[in-house]
Structure formats: C-alpha cells, structure tokens
Amino acid sequence: MILNIAIGLVGLGVVVFIHELGHLLSAKAVGIEVEAFSLGWGRKLAGVSWRGTEYRISVFPLGGYCKMKGEQSYTKAIEQDAKVIDGEPGSFFAARPWRRIVTLFAGPLANLLFAIAILTVVWWIGFTVETFPNRIVLASEFAPDSTATAQTPAAAAADRAGLRTGDTVESINGRVVQTYADLQQIVAQNALKPLEFVVRR
C-alpha cells in the first residue's frame, strides 16, 4: 500500500516535471525570459544561475515549476484595476500572442511526447501480463460438504462434465485458451450454450 502510494507520487512528480520542462524549453526558444526553473517545490536547497535562469533543487522533490518573467503582471493589473498589462521587455506578456500560445501549449505537448516515448520503449522491450493459469480447480473437491458450493451451477456443471482439478484447458469450441481470462471470456460469451472443452490431464 505504502509502496504503491510512493510510486504514484513519484510518477506524478515526473509528469509535472516534464510538463514544466516543456514550458522552459519553449519559453527560451521564443525569447521569453525564465527567472527560475526548479526541480521540486518549497524552500530552495541549492541552485546555479546559467544564461539568465536560476536552476534550483527544492526541498520537496515532486514535480517542479517554471517561473517566467512577468507572469504575475496579469494578477497585478487586475488588483490595480489597470487598463493594460505592463509588459517589460523579455516578459511573458510582452511577447506576441503566438509566442505565448506556443509556450503554454508546450507543457501538455511535452507530456504527450513523453508518454509516447515511454509506451514505445515498453512495447519494444516487451512486458508480461500476470494472470491466473488456465487450469481447472473444482471447489467441490476442497469443500465437498459446502451447501454454497453444491448450489453453484458452474461448480455442478463442471462436476457433471467430468472436469478435474489440475486439468489444463487447451481450447473451448475450437477457440484456443491460453489464460484464465480467455476461459472466462469464452464461457461468458456462450452462456447457456453447449461447450466442448479440450483439456490436458
């Protein structure tokens, strides 16, 4: 449980960091100055300035942020009831509209490209899907006196059909069965219909 939560938080942090990295790269590409780019949130632990941007490592290493020059000008204009937004040279609101659109859109685009890259690597390497094996386990053999088991139609049908615990189902009505999920799907699609099982005992 705790491990799953930790993995989820790390995953969320990576997604946010990639998103903010997209804003950083696009802002610099279109001439918008970036005052600070941080890995993590909160109090700054360390930092270095390079080409007008302070790159930081903050105390909470989840996600990050990209602080562009003048990005608070809109809020200040509203608070001061200003007619126009004061855009200093190199600030976000001094940039032409298309440059701002590119900068804002680059965050989601970075997430999309990152997801495509990860999925491509996963499919290239391959992965294993964990599922139950396609073997028969009769509940009646483990609880022969159970009223609930005796009244279960599926259990009774398996007994009458001569299936035994340990039988491996190879096919049903000619359809190959490789996993327990295959078995479930075929049986569900043919409810109340005769089924021909081929098993290996």
Catalytic machinery residues: 20
Neighbouring residues of 72: CB distance < 8 A, sequence distance ≥ 6: none
Rg of the Cα trace of the chain? Answer: 30
Nearest to 51 by CA among 76, 29, 21: 29
For residues 167 and 135, is the Cβ–Cβ distance under 8 A?
yes
Strands 168-172 and 175-176: antiparallel
d(CA 91, CA 94): 5
Residue 117 half-sphere exposure, CB side, CA atoms within 13 Å? 8
DSSP per residue over 178-191, as a string? -SHHHHHHHHHHTT
Helical segments of 71-179, H only: 73-79, 97-125, 139-142, 147-150, 153-160
d(CA 162, CA 31): 76
Question: What SS3 class is residue 35?
Answer: strand
